[in-house]
């Protein structure tokens, strides 16, 4: 967002969506951060002044002596992702992409460096500073250099947010990633402005998550924000001076204290022919500009930054010592952690499953045992770090990974980790009320965040004494997915599938838009066909909204429906059903009475004697049901319907003569009933539901 500042005694910050449409447009809050700090602590102004004088003198001396030298300086860096389970919780891959771009730009390895205009092509600089992820935390424990903390302070990006986590500034460059960097794309403090020990706990870079890297939530045009802020952290001003307001004529009278960057008014756009302060040409492609075509530092900026990293101001020189680089693991990191993840823990025979190594640091060899008799090993990361494996037989598999380097090896085993299903594992009818052991072998779970997922609960039910519950009330993640998926059901030869279920849900008072999606698949889950998409704002709630965690008080707060699937392409032996809940900050949801019936040339039956089978559909129903029976012989048959407390409420048939194979069960008041069939001295029952 563009921040427009009006000087009315102090800076008034106004965010506007207009300027956010301009490619590459970003706004740095460094100047405002300095103003805020000195307004809150005016006693520090004199100390900042003296520190900046020292730095300027030191820089001039360095420039006169050796121009900053050629030694490679390494800076340990740590990223703190402050998030509230929203899009600001960016991936490790996006953070690493941002770090790669930062180092590319500082080492003049960016391909677009060749596009620098002739007037400045001869003074583009390799700063010879690299930023490397810390591999040890302040306590000497293994770390990947990326921390994640959940907090609503991500929406402010202020000093209070920084206080959630901070590693010593004389050992690490702290970078906080958040949803809103105090209204800017990013900000930091220049070293002379935070030299006081009082400032140590706030020294570092704050950056908006969608300005990190070039992938994920960011883009190529926003990817150099971290480069810009690291320039400030190493004592560079904007090219037009120390303010945050480019394109003002008065900027020609200010200077960035770098001799080879011409005075300029500063730019929001890429004007390669600008002479805003007369002659010479403006260095609009400089990383310390606001234009969207930045791609260089100058030799003068190189000297200034290398002076900053060598000076004692804000303890910058302690970062690059050999001892600190070893203690933080920025050099010679040891392998200290082994783990892996998979694209899915439940799959089908013949399906590709992606395995991803999450181990760190310095892994050079991998041994994978997939548990099905297949083991692969090698040192080529392209082949062995993140392999793909296909299981050919159904079963449950234990997977092990051994990682190694010259210093040793680490090992992890995940027991019964992969569940592979084959065709026609189940036959209809499937009657699921969650009363017995669960999920047994009928259902599989997919839990996106590893937290709460579907679980059997006695706290509520439509029928019986239990139902399935998903505790979503405290979940603030957007589109967090939890899925309940059946194994394969044999629908070969069927004409129609009746999928019925009941649910209970109440929105939070503020009416958030959770989703319940019901899908079916004919190919074991490779492709899903969405049949229902119930929304928290419209047709998902079954009870009034509440500010409390929802539990239905009775059957009146439940609803149900029957989904009819009759596409011929769905009638395979790889048929599956999925109930997926997408949490969007709403409330708890309950499921009960999932019934799957089918009708066709194949049989959807419940066998309870050798000479008879039967099926009933649709179930649940808002009208009459159909009972179909296959009979052998002329034995007596009695069909009755009992209510929920076992009382007789209807006699469907009571005869000793040869029967037709179809009966109508007349509609009843809403409720759960028991259909009882007695034949040849045997008795069987089926729960049926009228809505």
Phi, psi angle pair for 261, to nearest 5°: -110, 110
DSSP 102-130: HHHHHTT--GGGGGS-HHHHTTB----EE
CA 48, CA 196: separation in Å to the nearest integer? Answer: 8
Residue 638 Cα distances to 477, 485, 523, 654, 655, angstroms: 54, 37, 41, 4, 7
Give which of 44, 8, 2, 7 is closest to 21, Cα–Cα: 2
Q: What is the 3-state secondary structure (H, E, C) of 495-533?
A: EEEEEEEEEEECCECCCCCCEEEEEEECCCCCCCEEEEE
Q: Radius of gyration (Cα) for the chain, nearest Å? A: 33
Give yes or no for a contact between 94 and 151, defined as CB atoms under 8 angstroms apart. no
Render 131-184 in DSSP notation, one character per residue. EEE-SB-TTS-B--SEEEEE-GGGGT-SHHHHTT----TTT-EEEEEES-BTTB
Of 598, 689, 593, the residue nearest 641 (C-alpha): 689
Nearest to 177 by CA among 218, 131, 235, 221: 218
What's the distance, CA 209 to chain centroid?
Answer: 13
Entry field: residues in the chain: 691
Query: The tokens of 392 are what?
Result: 């050919």
Residue 647: how many other CB atoms lie within 10 Å: 7
Contacts of 274 (CB under 8 A, 6+ apart): 264, 267, 281, 282, 284
Give the angle 477-481-485 at the CA atoms, nearest 5°. 160
Are the C-beta atoms of 306 and 69 separated by less than 8 Å?
Answer: yes
| 36: Cβ contacts below 8 Å, ≥ 6 apart | none
| Distance of alpha carbon 401 from alpha carbon 413, whole angstroms | 7
Strand order in the sheet with 388-390: 340-342, 352-357, 388-390
Q: How far apart are CA 20 and CA 88, in angstroms?
A: 18
Cα–Cα separations (whole angstroms), residue 463 to 398, 544, 691? 37, 21, 13
Question: What backbone torsions phi and psi does residue 105 show, to the nearest 5 degrees?
Answer: -70, -40
On whether the CB atoms of residues 297 and 260 are closer than 8 A, the answer is: no
Residue 148, token pair as written in the block: 């994640």
Catalytic residues: 229
* CA pair distance 81, 92, nearest whole angstrom: 10
Q: Which residues of 515-541 are buried (b: 16+ CB within 10 A; e: fewer)?
A: bbbbbbbbbbbeebeeeeebbbeeebb
Calculate the alpha carbon distances from 666 to 497, 671, 676, 680 in Å.
21, 13, 15, 25
* Measured distance CA(378)–CA(387) in Å, rounded: 11
Sign of dihedral through CA atoms 110, 114, 119, 123? Answer: positive
């Amino acid at each position: 967002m563009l921040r427009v500042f009006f000087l009315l005694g102090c800076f008034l910050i106004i965010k506007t969506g207009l300027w956010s449409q301009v490619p590459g447009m970003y706004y740095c809050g460094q100047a405002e951060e300095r103003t805020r700090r000195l307004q809150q602590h005016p006693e520090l102004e004199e100390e900042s002044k003296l520190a900046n004088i020292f730095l300027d003198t030191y820089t001039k001396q360095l420039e006169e002596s050796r121009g900053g030298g050629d030694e490679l300086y390494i800076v340990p860096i740590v990223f703190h992702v402050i998030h509230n389970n929203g899009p600001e919780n960016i991936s490790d891959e996006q953070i690493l992409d941002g770090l790669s771009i930062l180092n590319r730009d500082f080492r003049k390895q960016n391909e677009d460096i060749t596009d620098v205009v002739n007037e400045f092509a001869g003074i583009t600089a390799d700063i010879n500073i690299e930023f490397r992820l810390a591999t040890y935390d302040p306590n000497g424990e293994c770390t990947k250099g990326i921390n994640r903390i959940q907090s609503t302070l991500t929406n402010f990006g202020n000093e209070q947010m920084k206080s959630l986590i901070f590693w010593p500034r004389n050992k690490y460059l702290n970078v906080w990633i958040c949803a809103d960097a105090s209204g800017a794309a990013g900000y930091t403090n220049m070293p002379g402005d935070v030299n006081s020990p009082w400032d140590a706990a706030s020294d570092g870079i704050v950056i908006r998550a969608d300005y990190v890297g070039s992938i994920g939530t960011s883009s190529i045009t926003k990817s150099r924000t971290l480069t810009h802020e690291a320039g400030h952290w190493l004592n560079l001003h904007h090219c037009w001076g120390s303010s945050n307001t480019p394109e003002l004529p008065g900027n020609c009278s200010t200077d960035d204290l770098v001799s080879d960057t011409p005075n300029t008014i500063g730019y929001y756009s890429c004007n390669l022919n600008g002479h805003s302060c007369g002659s010479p040409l403006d260095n609009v492609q400089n990383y310390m500009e606001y234009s969207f075509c930045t791609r260089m530092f100058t030799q003068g900026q190189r000297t200034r930054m290398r002076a900053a990293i060598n000076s004692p101001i804000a303890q910058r020189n302690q970062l690059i010592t050999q001892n600190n680089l070893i203690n933080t693991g920025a050099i010679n990191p040891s392998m200290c952690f082994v783990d892996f993840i998979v694209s899915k823990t439940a799959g089908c025979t013949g399906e590709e499953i992606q395995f991803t190594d999450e181990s760190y640091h310095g892994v050079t060899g991998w041994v994978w045992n997939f548990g099905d008799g297949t083991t692969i090993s090698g040192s080529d990361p392209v082949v062995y770090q993140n392999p793909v494996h296909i299981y050919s037989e159904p079963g449950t598999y234990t997977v092990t990974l051994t990682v190694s380097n010259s210093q040793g090896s680490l090992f992890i085993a995940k027991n019964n980790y992969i569940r592979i299903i084959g065709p026609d594992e189940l036959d209809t009818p499937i009657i699921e009320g969650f009363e017995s052991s669960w999920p047994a072998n009928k259902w599989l779970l997919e839990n996106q965040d590893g937290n709460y997922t579907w679980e059997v609960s006695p706290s509520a039910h439509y029928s019986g004494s239990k139902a399935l519950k998903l505790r979503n009330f405290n979940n603030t993640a957007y589109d967090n997915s939890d899925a309940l998926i059946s194994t394969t059901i044999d629908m070969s030869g069927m004409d129609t599938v009746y999928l019925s279920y009941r649910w209970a849900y109440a929105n939070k008072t503020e009416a958030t838009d959770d989703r319940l999606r019901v899908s079916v698949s004919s190919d074991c889950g490779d492709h899903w066909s969405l049949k229902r998409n119930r929304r928290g704002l419209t047709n998902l709630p079954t009870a009034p909204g509440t500010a409390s965690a929802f539990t239905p008080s009775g059957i009146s707060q439940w609803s149900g429906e029957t989904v009819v699937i009759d596409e011929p392409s769905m009638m395979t032996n790889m048929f599956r059903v999925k109930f997926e809940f997408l949490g969007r900050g709403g409330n708890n949801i309950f499921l009960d009475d999932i019934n799957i019936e089918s009708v066709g040339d194949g049989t959807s039956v419940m066998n309870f004697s050798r000479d008879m089978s039967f099926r009933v559909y649709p179930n649940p129903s808002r009208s009459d049901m159909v009972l179909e029976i296959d009979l052998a012989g002329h034995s007596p048959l009695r069909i009755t319907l009992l209510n929920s407390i076992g009382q007789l409420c209807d006699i469907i048939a009571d005869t000793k003569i040869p029967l037709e194979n179809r009966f109508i069960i007349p509609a009843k008041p809403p409720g759960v009933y028991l259909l009882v069939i007695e034949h040849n001295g045997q008795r069987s029952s089926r729960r049926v539901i009228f809505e």
